[in-house]
Structures are given as structure tokens and as C-alpha cells.
């Protein structure tokens, strides 16, 4: 089977690290900044960064509606951290005017782990990822405040859901792209192949 063509939304955030992780997971990775580029991918990663900025730039670049359309049409999308926020149907504490692409039936809380604990690492067991826990890097990470019936929690930390799957959508509150462990990206590449 040919390796899947997976885009990384490269408006703001750590797109480069995701491009490298996707390469490491055997995908053909490319940046997406324009609607034509979005149209040419079989899957998409929304990176970590600042969800308010990504939301504003997606609107300014004319990508928000095309993104929503493709998610509705079944495009596999993986969001990490700010990307998880972008995939949430609802944000508990949005900035004014902050939009999401939506698609995952969940409410997220931004910067949820609090000030003293803004950044940390933790071993996280992720359902569907064999070979032991992944090293979760949490940077001003969100958590899932509540999960709808259609979404499935696949990882928890400190009693909160920190990774979710719903159909072709995957989201993690942490940043696997910073660890050199490509298993989360490999899981996503498998989801993209399965959606063909
Ligand atoms: N590392 C991250 O992606 C941080 C997310 C950021 N706190 C936000 O609200 O978008």
C-alpha cells in the first residue's frame, strides 16, 4: 500500500516537528496553508501552538470552512494540544471570537493543568498503542472536561481524559511530536490508510 499523504496545518505552532514525526511514521508529509493544499491531502495534523492564533489565521487564510467541510466528509484529522482544542465541538473558556473546526463531541478546558504545572512530562498509556506508555509532553495543555457519547477516551492523566478518538478524528492534549517516539503518528497513519 502506498504511504498516505498527510498534511500538517502550518499556520502557527510546531508544524515542523509534526512533519518530521510523520516522515518517521512512514507517511508522505506536507505543509498545508492554502485550500488547494488541503484538498490534496488524505489526512491532516493540526499542531500544537496557540489555538486562538490558529483559529484567527485559519479564518484569515480562508481555511476554516473548507476544514469543517472536509471533517464532515470524513477526513482523518489528528490534533495535538492546540490542535485538540481546534477539534473540540466546544471550548469551556474560549477567547472572544475563538472558533473551532469541531468534529469531536467534547468540551475542552484550555490551559487546564494550571499555572504551577504549566509544563510537565508523564508516561501515558494510550489504548490502541502497543509497546507500553508514551512519554506525554504537556505544555499549557488542555484536558477534556466532558466527553459526548460518540467520543471515546483513549488515555487519562490525573483523572482527566487527555486523548480521544471519534471515528476518523484523533486528539491528544500532549505533544508526541517532541519525543522522537512516532507511535501516535503511526496510529494516525493507520487511521488514514483505513479511511481510503
Ligand atoms: N502547547 C499548546 O499547544 C498550548 C495550547 C494553548 N494553551 C492553547 O490554548 O491553544
Structure confidence by residue, pLDDT tens digits, 113-166? 987 678 999 999 999 999 999 999 999 999 999 999 999 999 999 999 999 999
Residue 114 has what pLDDT?
83
Pick the CATH number of 5-195 from 3.40.50.880, 3.30.565.10, 3.30.465.10, 3.20.20.150: 3.40.50.880
Provide mean pLDDT across the span 98-126: 94
What band does 193 get if pLDDT is binned at 50, 70 and 90? very high
Confirm if 136 and 157 have CB atoms less than 8 A apart: yes
Residue 187 has pLDDT above 80, yes or no: yes
Q: 177 catalytic, yes or no?
A: yes
pLDDT tens readout for residues 5-51: 999 999 999 999 999 999 999 999 999 999 999 999 999 999 999 99
Distance 22 CA to ligand 1 centre (A): 21
Pairing, β 152-157 against β 28-32: unpaired
**Is 1's pLDDT higher than 80?**
no
Q: Where are the domains of the chain?
A: 5-195
Residues with Cβ within 8 Å of residue 126, at least 6 apart in sequence: 133, 134, 154, 155, 163, 172, 184, 187
Supply 164's cell numbers.
480521544
Q: What is the model's pLDDT at position 118?
A: 87
CB-based pocket (< 6 A), ligand 1: 48-51, 81-82, 85, 110-111, 139-140
What's the mean pLDDT in 65-88? Answer: 98
- Binding site annotation covers 6? no
Residue 51, annotated as binding a ligand: yes
Averaged pLDDT, 59-88: 98
- Residue 115's pLDDT is 76
What pTM was computed for the model? 0.98
Q: What is the mean pLDDT of residues 69-84?
A: 98
For atom 5 of ligand 1, which residue has the closest CA? 82
pLDDT in the model for residue 62: 97
Amino acid at each position: 500500500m502506498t504511504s498516505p499523504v498527510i498534511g500538517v496545518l502550518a499556520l502557527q505552532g510546531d508544524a515542523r516537528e509534526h512533519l518530521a514525526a510523520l516522515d518517521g511514521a512512514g507517511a508522505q508529509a506536507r505543509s498545508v496553508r492554502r485550500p488547494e493544499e488541503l484538498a490534496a491531502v488524505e489526512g491532516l495534523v493540526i499542531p500544537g501552538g496557540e489555538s486562538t492564533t490558529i483559529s484567527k489565521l485559519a479564518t484569515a487564510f480562508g481555511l476554516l470552512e473548507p476544514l469543517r467541510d472536509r471533517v464532515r466528509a470524513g477526513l482523518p484529522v489528528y490534533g495535538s494540544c492546540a490542535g485538540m482544542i481546534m477539534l473540540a465541538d466546544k471550548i469551556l473558556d474560549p477567547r472572544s471570537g475563538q472558533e473551532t473546526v469541531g468534529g469531536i463531541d467534547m468540551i475542552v478546558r484550555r490551559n487546564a493543568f494550571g499555572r504551577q504545572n504549566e509544563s510537565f512530562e508523564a508516561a501515558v498509556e494510550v489504548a490502541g498503542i502497543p509497546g507500553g506508555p508514551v512519554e506525554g509532553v504537556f505544555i499549557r495543555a488542555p484536558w477534556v472536561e466532558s466527553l459526548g457519547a460518540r467520543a471515546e477516551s483513549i488515555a487519562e492523566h490525573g483523572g482527566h481524559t487527555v486523548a480521544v478518538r471519534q471515528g476518523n478524528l484523533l486528539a491528544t492534549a500532549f505533544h508526541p511530536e517532541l519525543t522522537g517516539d512516532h507511535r501516535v503518528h503511526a496510529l494516525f497513519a493507520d487511521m488514514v490508510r483505513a479511511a481510503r
